[in-house]
A and B are shown apart, each in its own frame.
Chain A
Amino acid sequence: MNTVVSPAVGADTRPALKFITCGSVDDGKSTLIGRLLVDSKAVLQDHLAGVQRQGETDLALLTDGLSAEREQGITIDVAYRYFNTETRKFIIGDAPGHEQYTRNMVTAASSADAAVVLVDATKLDWRNAALKLLAQTRRHSLLLKLLRVPSIVFAVNKLDAVEDPTQAFTHIRNALTEFAATAGLTVTATVPVSALKGWNVVDAAVDAHWCGYSGPTLLDILEHLPVTPADVSLPVSFPVQWVEKFSSSSDTSQGRRVFWGRVATGEATVGQAVKVMPSGLTAKVAQVLDHARNPKPVAAGHSAGIVLDRELDVSRGDWLLAADDENDTLTATSSLSATVAWLDDEPLIAGRVYWALHGHRWVKAKVQRIVHRLDIHTLAEESANQLEANAIGHIELALQEPLATRPFAESRALGAMVLVDTASHKTSGALLVN
């Protein structure tokens, strides 16, 4: 158990922090996680024994669990690990750095409260004040921004292996700061670490001013990061996940069906006027149940059961939207402009039809045009006929049925979709409504 930080006020009400580690291949992500787990005493003896090779502990082997990963020495898919300190529980998603497996990094990032982007000092021209960052550092950071991961921490690693760690850290930190400013990233902290030696990960470096840094360790920072705030300030919106129909006589006497789902924005309360989309029918909320069937108001991010005051045709995939403020009522639209992160080896092609999943609703979506593709290096917008795997672009879609959406920047649930290939059924793209 780690004892660095005294328990924070309100620690008992905080859910676990989900964070991911990302960055380029061989930047030491798996080693960093191994270090976090070992130094916070979260690794059990048999697991530790399993990563001893000729007397040396290879921390990376704690997370690289697939035989294909061990063969190739790379992380292919996200490994989820769990640990806690005295003040907090953590879920780590160890994301692969390899460009080919960016889709798995996006998988981990979509549910993360925070991300630690590892930067390998030994791979950069650290003596140069105007050094260039690696493409994957930039790509991952941009994806984190797109996906609205609330906290981003840069961890500059392997500084034990460079001649002048202070100069290296200063130059790399400046380059990261400049890149962040250009890309519009908000960075919580930039920390020098040595995952291999265990400096500034759980315990502070032996030299308190190592690299000219005297701030908190990476774990200190993680212990104080917020979880993703729910979109509670917006009017209520609710995607219907499952319709519970009662068949026994005692239940039908209530004359109601319960619509279950997770409140996307706002708060579900009794008396609220709602409009059913896409039918446009209106009703009032007669009863709200929490996930475990207790009657109480339910805020964004949590599952609720909603009973309406009249019988309406409502099914899975429909949305219930606040209807009391005419000016703020969402209207459905059948054309969308969106940013897409393409994850499939089959490129996205203008003119093709995909399945789009929005909340619990599947609709056909046709790519009307590719507006542009983002150049990862220059952040310039370039024209494109298709989007290859790992590209980030801007597209326009025509929808088979209108959907009520909000920009992803306002509402994660209303602004997020996935595109699914109609032939292979692969999850091909992450779509963020503009």
Chain B
Amino acid sequence: MNARIDNAVLETAHHLSNAHLDALEEETIFILREVAAAFERPALLFSGGKDSLVMLRCAEKAFGVGRIPYPLLMIDTGHNFPEVTAFRDLRAGELQAELIVRNVEDSMKRGTVRLSHPEESRNVHQSVTLLEAIEEFRFDALIGGARRDEEKARAKERIFSHRDSFGQWQPKAQRPELWTLFNTRLAPGEHFRVFPISNWTELDVWQYIEREQIALPSLYYSHKRDVIDRRGLLVPVTELTPAKDGETVQTRDVRFRTLGDITCTCPVESTAATPEQIVLETLTAEVSERGSTRMDDKTSDASMEKRKKDGYF
């Protein structure tokens, strides 16, 4: 990350942020309420990550504590950072929200997920477990914390995004989305993915976390960690991602910009230990969130699009 801070840039950011954050918060709350009103069996995908925690704060404002009218759903690959899973459970408890966890490992036991080799990332296989959960609970709308600034296929996603009976996204046949007149009509077996924080950027998320003093898993802030520098990506040394022969393990000051499956999430070098310091870093970042942290997006330009077509979030 780049530590160069221009005072003018800083002042502008604070100047612009409050009215902008109010507008984003209001849009998100409007969408969260629309889901509560328009669908019979919605659920909110909740990973314990920063985006879903921002959504939860908006849900708290929309409905009040203890009143979020849909369950929280987590698809667990079994390869999540324990700090994040613990934080997820804690937060769900504080909000008195119903938490449903479904495991990729159960899909593996059922035989619906088969890995091509034991070390394969389970991230892509979440789609299968997710679609199984949708069928099990007959969910008709799944709220997700994806943002359009994350990735180019995401930039094209509607706020209310239709999925066919195979859970597939059809980018060429997206429904027009006019004003805030959301067409929520479904045929049996179909569902919607709904993205209330579509218009937020990584910077907005951090400014909101700072303003609202939202607690996050500690991994988002600077800590010392054993990593391997693999072509610019700092791969964390864990049981699941051990050092290969000939690689040098270093202890570096790092933080995670995004938290997902351990096998495909990398931290960035940083000493930022507070939301305010992260806002500063994000303002001057020269590499995107995914570019600096995700091993699985690099395989091809269209990897996210392909996964979304397969039912991925």
Question: A: which residues have CB within 8 A of B?
Answer: 1, 7, 11-16, 44-47, 50, 63-68, 70, 76-82, 84, 86-89, 91, 103-104, 106-107, 110-111, 241-244, 260, 262, 291-293, 302-303, 316, 343, 355, 357-360, 412-413, 416-418, 420, 425-427, 430
Contacts and interface: CB of A to CB of B under 8 A. Distances in A.
Contacts of A15: 19-20, 23
A46 B287 contact: yes
Interface string B188-207: 00000000001101000000
A11 B19 CA distance: 10
A329 to B, nearest CB: 24
Contact of B302 (A66, A107, A111): A66
Contacts of A343: 176
Interface stretch (B7-15, B87-95, B102-110, B243-251): B7-15
Contact of B25 (A46, A107, A292, A427): A292
B33 A242 contact: yes
B172 A76 contact: yes
B291 interface: yes
A332 B164 CA distance: 37
Nearest to A359: B181
Contacts, number: 164
22 contacts: A16-B23, A44-B285, A44-B287, A46-B291, A65-B301, A77-B172, A77-B174, A84-B12, A89-B16, A107-B177, A107-B178, A111-B179, A241-B30, A262-B30, A291-B61, A358-B181, A360-B37, A418-B176, A418-B183, A420-B185, A427-B176, A427-B183
B185 A77 contact: no
A91 B179 CA distance: 15
A86 B10 CA distance: 10
Contact of B37 (A64, A78, A242): A242
A400 B56 CA distance: 39
Secondary structure call for the A interface? mixed
Given A1-B12, A78-B156, A425-B187, 9 more contacts: A1-B9, A11-B15, A15-B23, A45-B287, A70-B301, A89-B16, A110-B178, A303-B30, A316-B37
Which size bracket describes the interface of B in this complex? 35 or more
Contacts of A79: 152, 155-156
B116 interface: no
B171 A66 contact: yes
A13 B180 CA distance: 23
B286 A45 contact: yes
A343 B29 CA distance: 29
B36 A242 contact: yes
B64 interface: yes
Given A65-B156, A104-B176, A425 B19 contact: no
Given A80-B148, A416-B179, A241 B16 contact: no
A77 B156 contact: yes
B152 A303 contact: no
Given A46-B292, A430-B176, A425 B26 contact: no
Contacts of A80: 148, 155-156, 198-199
A241 B301 contact: no
B288 interface: yes
